[in-house]
Amino acid sequence: MASKLQTIKQRYGIIGRSEALDRALDTAIRVASTDLSVLITGESGVGKEVFSRVIHDNSPRKHEGFIAINCGAIPEGTINSELFGHEKGSFTSAAGERKGYFETYDGGTIFLDEIGEMPLNTQTILLRVLESGEFVRIGSNKTLRTDVRIIAATNVALLDNVRTGKFREDLYYRLNTVPIDLPPLRERREDIYLLFRKFSLDFAEKYRLEPIHLDDEAQRILENYNWPGNIRELKNVAEQLSILSETRLLHANDLRQFMPQLNQRHLPSLTDQLKGGENLQEREILYKVLFDMKKDLNDLKSLVFELISTNDLKMPNTQQVKSLLLPEGGSSSKAVQRVEHAPPKEFVEKDRRFDDVDYQENESFEPIILSDDQRHKYDISEVVEENLSLEDNERELINKALKKHQGHRREAALDLGISERTLYRKIEKYGL
């Protein structure tokens, strides 16, 4: 299978060695020999149409027709006519009868890109075609049959559209017989420079120029960019640099000058401080954990001050506490322990020294003591060492996000600041 994957990659110009890409390509090859409907998901610019061609060209229908249709590019008033045809005089501009794509490409494959933009009435007709192979031209009462294979693609979460009533649930499950999820470029960082080199070589040959190269730092900047436009954006960058750069070896400053957007980051750290190969999604989770811990600490402070104010408790003078708790050369942690175990005033009078700390009679320090009628309101507490395990905190944060969004993984991934695919991997890893 590895050799077949490599052959397919060479044939269709698919560059990459990431595990997620190979898994998606393997699924496409395996499902190609069947007539099952396929739903390809992924962000804009990840190469969904290329995968549809892979499926068609390796199927028994490879000698029949193939057409790619962008559902979002056809006006709502004419999409039914484009897909299913119409009779003469069925509407104002229908000067003659017309065959639709489902009739023209009978026996072949139709790739419906941006399926989430398809109008609801068209979805109803498409569902009937998928279930029975039957459809009716606009303005006709004659039922026609077709045998086409449907490959659909979307860059949005169709389940969200289902929940909002913009997409039929039965059609979603009918299309999603075999799902193929294409990873975004930011989850294939090991492939970014390989793709850049391929594009730069192609443009050098096209424009008869010497290929451009990047030094190590410039390569790291390229790999750490988020690439919202995915492969399409990377290809545009390679073409611009090939034409605009006077030198063929680009350094980090040259790259920043030509492409200032490459400095944009979603993490609170400098780009040139990042090391190659770091898992940026896990770093984002770590930063969120730290920020949440800081918020919890501030909430705890507010609670303490509220308790002091509500119970009319007295606090010692801040400067006097510092002088008592932090003697020269002393340990701050030891000093805190002394305050927590400070003896009542009557014991201080009997022994002027307690744990090497002097208490003066003329000082206004009074320990915070709850009266007997207030003491029962508080449970006995103990000092628990904080769990600093990144893995445990990551598991807890993901669990909180899932509970917050009632198990909706897409919303939880957006709240966590990670991709939905990364969230799936974490859920499987931690068994959530």
pLDDT value of position 199: 94
pLDDT over 90 (residue 382): no
CA 366 to CA 282: how far, in whole Å? 47
As annotated, the residues of the chain forming the CATH 1.10.8.60 domain(s) are: 186-273
- Kindly report the number of other CB atoms within 10 A of residue 321's CB atom: 14
- Give strand pairing partners of 70: 113
Residue 46 · residue 183 · CB < 8 Å: yes
And the tokens for 295? 């918020």
pLDDT over 60 (residue 375): no
pLDDT over 50 (residue 11): yes
Q: Which amino acid is at 270?
A: L
Sheet holding 149-154, edge to edge: 66-70, 109-113, 149-154, 38-41, 178-181
Closest Cα to residue 149, out of 11, 24, 48, 53? Answer: 53
- Kindly report the number of other CB atoms within 10 A of residue 48's CB atom: 23
Least confident of 106-110, 122-126, 139-143, 423-427: 423-427
* Greatest C-alpha distance within the chain: 111
94: left (phi over 0), alpha (psi -120 to 50) or beta: beta
pLDDT over 50 (residue 332): no
Highest mean pLDDT among 82-96, 221-235, 274-288, 414-428: 221-235
Strand 143-145 relative to strand 134-136: parallel, antiparallel, unpaired? Answer: antiparallel
pLDDT over 90 (residue 261): no
Residue 51 · residue 68 · CB < 8 Å: no
Output the pTM of the full model.
0.60
pLDDT over 50 (residue 386): yes
Residue 271 · residue 224 · CB < 8 Å: yes
CATH 3.40.50.300 fits 2-183, yes or no: yes
pLDDT value of position 185: 93
And the tokens for 50? 């290329």
As annotated, the residues of the chain forming the CATH 3.40.50.300 domain(s) are: 2-183
First to last CA, the chain: 32
Q: Name the more confident of 20 and 311.
A: 20
For residues 16-22, average pLDDT: 92
The angle at the Cα of 386, spanning 382 to 392, to the nearest 5 degrees, equals 135
- Give the right CATH number for 390-430 from 1.10.260, 3.20.20, 1.20.120, 1.10.10: 1.10.10
pLDDT value of position 409: 82
The fold of the 186-273 domain, in CATH, is Helicase, Ruva Protein; domain 3 (1.10.8)
pLDDT over 90 (residue 198): yes
And the tokens for 62? 């490879």
CA 286 to CA 341: how far, in whole Å? 35
- Exposed e or buried b per residue across 144-156, where buried means at least 16 C-beta atoms within 10 angstroms of its C-beta: bebebbbbbbbbb
As annotated, the residues of the chain forming the CATH 1.10.10 domain(s) are: 390-430
pLDDT-derived band at 150, boundaries 50, 70, 90: very high
pLDDT value of position 294: 79
Q: What is the pLDDT of residues 405-422, one digit of tens each?
A: 888 888 888 888 888 878
Least confident of 46-50, 82-86, 233-237, 349-353: 349-353
pLDDT value of position 96: 86
pLDDT over 60 (residue 335): no
pLDDT value of position 354: 42
pLDDT value of position 100: 94
Per residue, the 3-state secondary structure of the chain, as one string, reads CHHHHHHHHHHHCCCCCCHHHHHHHHHHHHHHCCCCCEEEECCCCCCHHHHHHHHHHCCCCCCCCEEEEEHHHCCCCCHHHHHHCECCCCCCCCCCCECCHHHHCCCCEEEEECHHHCCHHHHHHHHHHHHHCEEECECCCCEEECCCEEEEEECCCHHHHHHCCCCCHHHHHHHCCEEEECCCHHHCHHHHHHHHHHHHHHHHHHHCCCCCEECHHHHHHHHHCCCCCHHHHHHHHHHHHHHHCCCCEECHHHHHHHCHHHHCCCCCCCHHHCCCCCCHHHHHHHHHHHHHHHHHHHHHHHHHHHHHHHCCCCCCCHHHHHHHHCCCCCCHHHHHHHHHCCCCHHHHHHCCEECCEECCCCCCCCCCCCCHHHHCCCCCCCCCCCCCCHHHHHHHHHHHHHHHCCCCHHHHHHHHCCCHHHHHHHHHHHCC
Least confident of 187-191, 210-214, 315-319, 423-427: 315-319
CA 237 to CA 259: how far, in whole Å? 8
pLDDT over 60 (residue 157): yes
CA 351 to CA 359: how far, in whole Å? 9
pLDDT value of position 381: 54
Report the mean per-residue pLDDT for the chain: 81
pLDDT value of position 415: 83
